């Protein structure tokens, strides 16, 4: 029996995943904007988020959350992290018992410092919770470029079943059981992408970007392990893989924010000019608090925070990193 998919969220990644799953399973996408829904249903496109892209003709959309999920066998949450809880609460009355709920978000909730699967477990106890994550730039995947992702769930059997829902052609989906590590890798790498973007915007060079990616991996791994993730996860697709893609690509929203900061633009103006959410901007606040909670040294995150929220310049940030005490490469710092 083919599983029916109900996907909440009509942004670039949510729409891309819905288009992928509709090749394997009956998929219904929910979006708030009636114009987006009409465009998907009538033109098989979502020009605001995926310009010039044709969606799978089997994908249907609706403005009704109830219609989207009341018959769904798997629910996919393509909702930014700061709105995730509100949408899930809205959906809760219509979700059938025991249906798996999969997050696409790469962020942490500011008010609680929670991961998205923790929010799912709190609001929908008894429902298997998981995350689909990895080095996945939506526009590339939609245009048929090869990519790999990971579906991470505690229950390996359910994850393997869902592999067949998400895998499609050149989009290869692996599984793992380290939900904590997979989610943290996806959230924390966005902060590093802002740092890498700042360097690129300020024309700091390839060596600087390489150093930021490498030390950024060390930094996010330290916090991730302290919070319960497994070290090997951070060396895989959901850690290093995602970090490289996001820190190196102009298609990355977080890299874009950093790049514009590096060019001297103000954060408020950058955000106002974007039609999508750069999760790393708000995640940086949460990561700073978590670093204190777990007593983990995170110099790159600290400098990004100062640029975003304390009025420091990009050059202040690089000066701060250069003057940070240097230890052994294998040790914190």
Binding residue numbers for sn-glycerol 3-phosphate? 106, 134, 189, 242, 252-254
Sheet holding 101-103, edge to edge: 60-62, 27-30, 5-8, 74-77, 101-103, 129-133, 147-153, 171-176
Among this protein's residues, is 92 annotated catalytic? no
Distance, CA of 174 to CA of 244 (rounded, Å): 18
Could you list the residues known to form a binding site for substrate, using ranges: 106, 253-254
Distance, CA of 152 to CA of 302 (rounded, Å): 29
Distance, CA of 304 to CA of 191 (rounded, Å): 7
Closest CA to 262 of 213, 323, 194: 194
Catalytic annotation, pick one of 4, 48, 189, 230: 189
Could you list the residues known to form a binding site for NADPH, using ranges: 12-13, 32, 49, 106, 138, 253, 277, 279
HSE-CB of 110 using CA atoms within 13 angstroms = 10
Distance, CA of 235 to CA of 113 (rounded, Å): 24
CB 290 within 8 A of CB 269: no
Could you list the residues known to form a binding site, using ranges: 9-14, 32, 49, 106, 134, 138, 189, 242, 252-254, 277, 279
Distance, CA of 192 to CA of 257 (rounded, Å): 11
Q: Which residue has the tokens 């692996």?
A: 174
Residues annotated catalytic, as ranges: 189
């Amino acid at each position: 029996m083919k599983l029916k998919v109900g996907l909440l969220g009509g942004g670039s990644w949510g729409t891309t995943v819905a288009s992928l799953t509709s090749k394997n399973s009956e998929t219904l996408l929910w979006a708030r904007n009636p114009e987006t829904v009409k465009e998907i249903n009538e033109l098989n496109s979502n020009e605001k988020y995926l310009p010039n892209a044709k969606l799978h003709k089997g994908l249907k959309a609706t403005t009704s959350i109830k219609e989207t999920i009341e018959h769904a066998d798997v629910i996919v949450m393509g909702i930014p992290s700061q709105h995730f809880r509100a949408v899930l609460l809205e959906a809760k009355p219509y979700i059938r018992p025991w249906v798996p709920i999969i997050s696409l978000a790469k962020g942490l909730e500011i008010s609680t410092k929670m991961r998205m699967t923790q929010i799912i477990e709190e609001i929908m106890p008894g429902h298997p919770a998981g995350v689909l994550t990895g080095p996945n730039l939506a526009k590339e995947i939609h245009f048929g470029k090869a990519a790999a992702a990971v579906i991470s769930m505690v229950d390996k059997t359910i994850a393997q079943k869902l592999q067949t829902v998400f895998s499609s052609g050149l989009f290869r989906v692996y599984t793992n059981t380290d939900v904590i590590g997979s989610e943290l890798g996806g959230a924390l790498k966005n902060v590093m992408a802002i740092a890498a973007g700042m360097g690129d915007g300020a024309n700091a060079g390839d060596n600087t970007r390489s150093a930021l990616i490498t030390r950024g991996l060390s930094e996010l791994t330290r916090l991730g392990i302290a919070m319960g993730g497994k070290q090997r996860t951070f060396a895989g697709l959901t850690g290093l893989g995602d970090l490289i893609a996001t820190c190196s690509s102009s298609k990355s929203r977080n890299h874009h924010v950093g790049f514009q900061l590096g060019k001297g633009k103000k954060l408020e103006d950058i955000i106002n000019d974007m039609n999508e959410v750069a999760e790393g901007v708000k995640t940086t606040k949460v990561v700073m608090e978590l670093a204190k909670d777990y007593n983990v040294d995170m110099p790159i995150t600290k400098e990004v925070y100062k640029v975003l929220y304390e009025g420091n310049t990009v050059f202040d940030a690089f000066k701060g990193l250069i003057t940070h005490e240097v230890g052994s490469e294998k040790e914190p710092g």
